[in-house]
């Protein structure tokens, strides 16, 4: 990539960031809730100004997927399966972990910097040039990327596009899609309550908004009441809705389907992907290569969950089996062994997904009892953003018995100027640190209620920030007159948190050159000794996909290239 092209790409990222970030988009959606259909009308207007009509999207043969947790994984499984049939795939997802290019993929690969720059400026200039007195606005960050993805997929001539809903469904900007080939709903739960509603039934109503007349839709098993809402939404618009059988139903004889994504909760996502891919192949006239094991016609057999017919079970084709096995989706139930430090990385950020994360982590990391000789140290690295119930999330993590809990914002460095892909103009360092301190207070209270060691209340952000001579990092330090036997620490950025956790023992994350003096914080000092001497350090990173992205960027610099 030449210098001029690289500069153009960086300019594209900086300009994209001026269109606001997800936090601002959420606020915009909240303001428009009084007339949510206006959101879709505005999106159609932006699409037309960019040079496309909604009818053009019909050519993309779209698979449209929503849900609270698992929708990205279900999309990843689906895309990988269909790519195995020799099809040219497009995949639009959010958020990105390291680089924004990850959101728009061709054949499983993030859009190249050259193509990203080409399509960004094509769309941006068309929208900018069509502004007038009546159209003075530009689409916000997510809306712009959605429009750009449609341009990419059409011009790059994909055979199909897997499109993950951003937030909700009914009034999400991806829902300008008129005629997808098939729709999917992954597991439902509570998230984005200020936009979607504060009950799972209200959220189900929003998710069911992607259903279209005559377009088959599939859902994983859901609690009875939200499933009824999905059923009613499907009936209202004439959408045939089916309930996915468990993955066990596809495993005949001694055959067990291997999944590229770890965790038992991925089995329902894989089952959904099998139905979506097979239905897409059938509706588009391709030979799926599957034999039906048990065919259930609409209305012939109702599931135990209230009048939603079960989808047929079938013998997965070789391409499906291989696709499930080869699926990769970074930042979700991902294990990175780095010498004595093993990273367990999962972007769970709802109560149900944290529950699944804990089950996975305990199975993957804690099969054996913790050694009593201190040879294993367990560390939680956590952050949560938005309107999420942090106390509920942290309480679910207590059974993992962490020796230390570390909190930090989603900034990779204290200065975010160099992190254009992860820049968020709507969150200041001070605000982010305030949230981290609140999270630490919550952890302190939960540990006290659990009967753990006495933990002092941490300082507010206005308190003392002391430099760490050992690491060059900054710590939020409790007042000197308080006991300092806390087992939780707050750092101002991901880089400094990782430096303390690893103590130079992760070969992918070397210590800074400066290493002199004693740490002024006793907890950090005593913890550093334990971390230096431990035979094994197990680190769970969770609570935010943005945190996960920052960690992966530092642990695997190739992701930024």
Which residue numbers belong to the known binding site for ATP?
332, 346
Write the DSSP symbol of residue 304: S
Binding-site residues, in ranges, read: 94, 164, 192, 332, 346
Contact call for residues 184 and 81 (beta carbons, < 8 A): no
Per-residue DSSP letter, 310: B
Residue 453 half-sphere exposure, CB side, CA atoms within 13 Å? 13
Q: Are 90 and 156 in contact (CB under 8 A)?
A: yes
C-alpha angle 208/210/214, rounded to 5°? 100
CA nearest neighbour of 554 among 503, 494, 513, 468: 494
User: Which pairing describes strands 217-219 and 241-243: parallel, antiparallel, or unpaired?
Assistant: parallel
Q: What residues are designated binding site for Mg(2+)? A: 94, 164, 192
Q: What is the DSSP secondary-structure string of 485-511?
A: --SEEE-SSHHHHHHHHHTT--TTSPP
SS3 of 316, please?
Answer: coil
What is the secondary structure of 35-75 as a DSSP string? STHHHHHHHHHHHHHTT--GGGGGGG-EEEEE-SBSHHHHH
User: Directed axis angle between helix 390-397 and helix 351-365, to 10°?
Assistant: 20
> 488 and 482 in contact (C-beta within 8 Å)?
no
Non-local (6+) Cβ contacts of 3 within 8 A are none
Backbone angles phi, psi at 27, to 5 degrees: -65, -40
Query: Phi, psi (5° rounding) for residue 228?
Result: -60, -40
Say how many C-beta atoms besides its own lie within 10 A of residue 435's C-beta: 20
Q: No. of H helices and E strands in the chain?
A: 17, 18
- For residue 96, what are the contacts with CB-CB under 8 A and spacing of at least 6? 102, 103, 421, 549
């Amino acid at each position: 990539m030449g210098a001029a092209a690289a500069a153009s790409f960086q300019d594209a990222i900086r300009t994209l960031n001026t269109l606001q970030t997800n936090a601002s988009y959420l606020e915009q959606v909240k303001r428009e809730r009084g007339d949510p259909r206006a959101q879709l009308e505005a999106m159609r207007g932006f699409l037309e100004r960019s040079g496309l009509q909604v009818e053009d999207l019909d050519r993309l043969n779209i698979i449209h997927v929503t849900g609270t947790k698992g929708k990205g994984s279900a999309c990843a499984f689906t895309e990988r399966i269909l790519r195995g049939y020799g099809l040219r795939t497009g995949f639009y997802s959010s958020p990105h972990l390291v680089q924004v290019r990850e959101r728009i993929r061709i054949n499983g690969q993030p859009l190249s910097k050259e193509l990203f720059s080409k399509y960004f400026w094509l769309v941006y200039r068309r929208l900018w040039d069509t502004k007038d007195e009546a159209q003075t606005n530009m689409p916000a960050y997510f809306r712009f990327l959605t429009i750009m993805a449609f341009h990419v997929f059409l011009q790059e001539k994909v055979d199909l596009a897997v499109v993950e809903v951003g937030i909700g469904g009914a009034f999400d900007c991806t829902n300008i899609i008129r005629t997808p080939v098939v729709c999917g709903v992954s597991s439902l739960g509570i998230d984005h309550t200020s936009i979607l509603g504060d009950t799972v039934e209200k959220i189900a109503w929003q998710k069911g908004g992607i259903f279209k007349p005559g377009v088959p839709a599939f859902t994983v098993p859901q609690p009875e009441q939200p499933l009824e809402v999905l059923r009613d939404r499907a009936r209202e618009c004439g959408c045939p809705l089916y309930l996915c059988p468990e993955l066990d139903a596809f495993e005949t004889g001694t055959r067990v389907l291997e999944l590229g994504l770890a965790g038992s909760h991925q089995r329902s996502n894989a089952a959904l992907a099998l139905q979506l891919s097979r239905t897409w192949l059938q509706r588009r006239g391709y030979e799926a290569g599957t034999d039906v094991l048990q065919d259930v016609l609409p209305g012939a057999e109702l599931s135990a969950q209230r009048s939603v017919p079960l989808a047929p079970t079938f013998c997965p084709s070789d391409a499906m089996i291989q696709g499930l096995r080869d699926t990769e989706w970074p930042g979700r139930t991902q294990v990175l062994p780095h010498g004595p430090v093993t990273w367990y990385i999962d972007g769970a950020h709802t109560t149900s997904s944290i529950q699944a994360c804990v089950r996975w982590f305990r199975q993957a990391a804690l099969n054996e009892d913790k050694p009593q000789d201190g040879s294993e140290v367990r560390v939680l690295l956590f952050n949560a953003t938005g309107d999420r119930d942090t106390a509920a999330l942290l309480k679910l993590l207590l059974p993992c018995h962490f020796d230390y809990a570390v909190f930090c914002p989603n900034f990779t460095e204290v200065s975010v100027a160099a992190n254009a892909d992860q820049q968020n103009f709507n969150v200041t360092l001070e605000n982010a640190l305030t949230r981290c301190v609140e999270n630490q207070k919550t952890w302190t209270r939960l540990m006290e209620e659990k009967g753990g060691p006495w933990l002092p209340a941490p300082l507010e952000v206005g308190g003392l920030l002391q430099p760490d001579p050992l690491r060059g990092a900054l710590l939020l330090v409790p007042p000197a007159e308080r006991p300092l036997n806390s087992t939780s620490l707050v750092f101002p950025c991901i880089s400094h948190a990782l430096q303390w956790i690893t103590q130079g023992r992760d070969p992918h994350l070397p210590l800074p050159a400066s290493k002199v003096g004693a740490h002024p914080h006793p907890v950090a000092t005593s913890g550093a000794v334990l971390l230096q001497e431990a035979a094994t350090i197990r680190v769970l990173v969770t609570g935010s996909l943005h945190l996960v992205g920052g960690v992966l960027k530092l642990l695997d610099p190739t992701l930024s290239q």
